[in-house]
Structure 1
Amino acid sequence: MNEPEKEEKEDDSHPYRRPKDAATLILVDRSASVPKVLVGKRHDKVVFQPGKFVFPGGRVDATDSKIPVAADIPKALEKKLTGGSPKIAPARARALAVAAIREACEETGLCLGRKVARMNGAAAKLTGEWTSFAEAGLLPDPSGLFLIARAITPPGRIRRFDTRFFTADVSSIAHRVEGVVHAEAELVELVWLELGSPSLEGLHSMTKNVLRELAQRLAMGPLSHAAEVPFYHFQGGDWRRDTI
């Protein structure tokens, strides 16, 4: 069992804040002997982790539960997403998976979806951040996502998230939006790095924990929803690792 890597010291003097649901997507390329993951370099002027390599992700939006999809999430994935505490409803589980796809497309220009012959009114619901899907004749497709980990930011932090870390194969990318990553964007560069690359050592400690979990899962062969999912949360003044 992996013990959580000790987190670098962060300011924990802030008032209690309820964690907000968030989703992160780790895209994987397994075409070579050593899998590669896609990371983005954050702008030096952003508040959170400036200049660091990160995976695309962010908090769930109110509209994520209402977006039409090409295929629903598998029941086995839904069961994993509703596990742990606090509990969430199946509709919220679906919204988390959809949020991961939205954030990835919004931050990297890489959109996970499926082309449909007829949108049948769905395009009218794909507004705002989802416009690129409608323009490409795509519906987001969360059916190929796998849950790798869940982690809740400790109390006392200025920002707290209840994050679900998803992964998907690079083959799930159905459309690329040009010009999303540039010198003045939130992500200024995209890089594919091999698992175990020294460049990944600069990631946040919890993200490195999740990457180790992912590496173990990939080493076992095809991903499965039946595999145990680690749930990292703070209890009794220290990190606790449970499984879902």
Structure 2
Amino acid sequence: MNAPLALAKNEKEDDSHPYVRPKDAATLILIDRSGSRPKVLVGRRHDKVVFMPGKYVFPGGRVDKTDNRVPVAAPIPPELEASLLRGRPKTEASRARSLAVTAIREACEETGLCLGRKVEDGRAGKLDGVWKPFADNGLLPDPSSLFLIARAITPPGRVRRFDTRFFSAEASAITHRIPGVVHADAELVELVWVEIGSEPLADAHNMTKAVLRQLELRLANGPLRHDAPIPFFHWYDGAMRMDTLTSTS
């Protein structure tokens, strides 16, 4: 068990709420390696939203009950599924698929950047709602390029709690862009590609910075691998701590 993670003074949260069961959620960290140093995509949240107003965040959100039924261009890699099954609470195989699809859906909804693949069998035409941009372009969501970077569960006592899986993918996996998604009245008002540790991230939520530090370590060791240890941030013994989930966890 690692040392507790300290919250910054301006990030103290109300911990007086009754116990709330964490909801499954997924986040996508897109990586651009075209320059001398890798950059990640973050979006600045609207100042008037309830959750983390004005903060730079990764696109993401909770799992929708229909995410497991959305057809995909390719199944999630067995190695990714194995990574998602590590740790407690236990994740079922069907839920692992949902989490990967959620990360793709949320990124497309919030940033207009969509990870998909062209298909010719007519399945894409059956998509509707938030998936219509995929259908209009003959695409199905493609989770085959995703890697799991971290898992984090919001501490108890918070009014909103999430069991979040942080995925990453290369910017080259973006196959479609929807214009006009990010604007002054949207949930995300600005998108920026930034180096890890750069100025736009100085005021990011403490967990965002903790996950980024772990991603930086992964990137320093070469190409991302599915068999790498997964940092798991959760509340234990009165503090937020980080465990490491390995292939035997």
Question: What's the TM-score, normalizing by structure 2?
Answer: 0.94
Query: 1:24-76 deviations in whole A, cap 9, x for unaligned?
Result: 00100011111111111111111111111111000000111001111111111
Question: For 1:236 and 1:213, how far apart are their aligned partners in 2?
Answer: 22
In the alignment, the residues of structure 1 paired with residue 234 and residue 51 of structure 2 have an alpha-carbon distance, to the nearest angstrom, of 20
Equivalent position of 1:111 in the other structure: 114
**AA in 2 matched with 1:66:** R
- Give the AA of the match of 1:38: L
C-alpha separation in 2, matches of 1:29 and 1:198: 18
- Matching of residues 13-28 of structure 1 within 5 Å: 13-28=16-31
Aligned to 2:203: 202
Cα separation, 2, equivalents of 1:236 and 1:164: 22
Q: 1:3 to 1:131 in 2, by over 3 A?
A: farther
Conservation of the 8 A alpha-carbon contact between 1:65 and 1:94: yes
Q: Are 2:2 and 2:241, in contact at CA under 8 Å, matched by a contact in 1?
A: no
> What displacement does 1:113 show?
0.7
Identity over aligned pairs, percent:
69
Structure 2: tracts of 5 or more residues without a match: none
Contact map agreement 1:56 1:104 (CA 8 A) in 2: yes
TM-score by length of 1: 0.96
Residue 193 of structure 2 corresponds to which residue in structure 1?
A: 192
- The 3-state SS of whatever aligns with 1:85 is coil
Q: Deviations over 1:144-197 (max 9, x none)?
A: 000000000000001000000000000000000011011111111111111120
Matching residue within 41, 44, 50 for 1:41? 44
* CA distance 1:5–1:236, change in 2 (3 Å): closer
User: How far has the Cα of 1:236 moved from its partner?
Assistant: 1.4
Residue 242 of structure 1: how far off its partner (Å): 1.4
- The gaps in structure 1 that reach 5 residues or longer are none
1:54 aligns with 2:44: no
User: How far off its partner does 1:4 sit?
Assistant: 5.7
> 2:220 aligned with 1:225, yes or no?
no
Distance 1:208 1:5 in 2: 11
**2:35 pairs with 1:32:** yes
Runs of 4 or more, structure 1, over 3 Å off, are 1-5
Does 2:125 match 1:123? yes
Q: How does 1:134-213 map to 2 (within 5 A)?
A: 134-213=135-214
CA 1:171/1:178 → structure 2, altered by over 3 Å: closer, same or farther? same
